[in-house]
Amino acid sequence: MTARRSKKSKKSSAQVRFLVLLCVFLTGMLIYSYRDDISQKARDLGAGKFTYPVEYEEYVFKYAQEYDIDPRYIFAVINTESHFNPDATSDVGARGLMQIMEDAYDWIKFRMNDERGHTFDDMYDPELNIQYGTYMLKYLYERFDCSYELAAAAYHGGMNAVDGWIADGIVIPDDFHIEDVPSDVTANYIYKVMKAYDKYKKKLEE
């Protein structure tokens, strides 16, 4: 009787080990099959679900350095304009990551003396779009007393509008208050950009 029980016990143990190994194997296969999805969810959780993403950083840092402007501000504008969608097109025809209008494209190309053979259709190209948008922002930043708020206002509402506000004494560059901006839409845009800029400054501390 003892011998039979010993054989049954060994057989039972072998079956248990087999089932455990099978479960481990199947679990490993499931994890491997869904590894990309699991990794993406982990990245989402770790990055706050990409509320303030950092994409196309090679182009942002490249042209921020070339035109001497804070890359975190560029990220903030891209996030506000297109949420990092290179194929974004607005109702009024602005294109790409930094939502460049055709007249702005022509003006920047002329100012840069850019003789490359591209057209406005190429504003969906991430690098070219970021280069042109960054050049424009740096120009506006210098034009309006190195104010990121007024650069954002001009980027959104146009240089002539901001020039008019300053000339009329509505907005004072050295003493800027967002509530002085006469356009609620532009004021809201400035608020969004500057809020994102603050977030990026914390996310990308120097």
Residue type, position 42, single letter: A
CATH node for 57-203: 1.10.530.10
- Domain assignments of the chain as residue spans, ordered by start: 2-48, 57-203
For every one of its 206 residues, what pLDDT tens digit does the chain have, with 9 covering 90 and above?
Answer: 444 545 555 555 666 566 545 554 554 454 344 344 433 433 343 333 446 889 999 999 999 999 999 999 999 999 999 999 999 999 999 999 999 999 999 999 999 999 999 999 999 999 999 999 999 999 999 999 999 999 999 999 999 999 999 999 999 999 999 999 999 999 999 999 999 999 999 888 75
pLDDT for 138 equals 98
Distance between start and end Cα atoms, the chain: 77
Nearest to 128 by CA among 118, 138, 136: 118
Q: Is 146 helix (H, G, I), strand (E, B) or coil?
A: coil
pLDDT for 11 equals 54
CA distances from 73 to 15, 37, 180 (A): 63, 31, 22
pLDDT for 204 equals 80
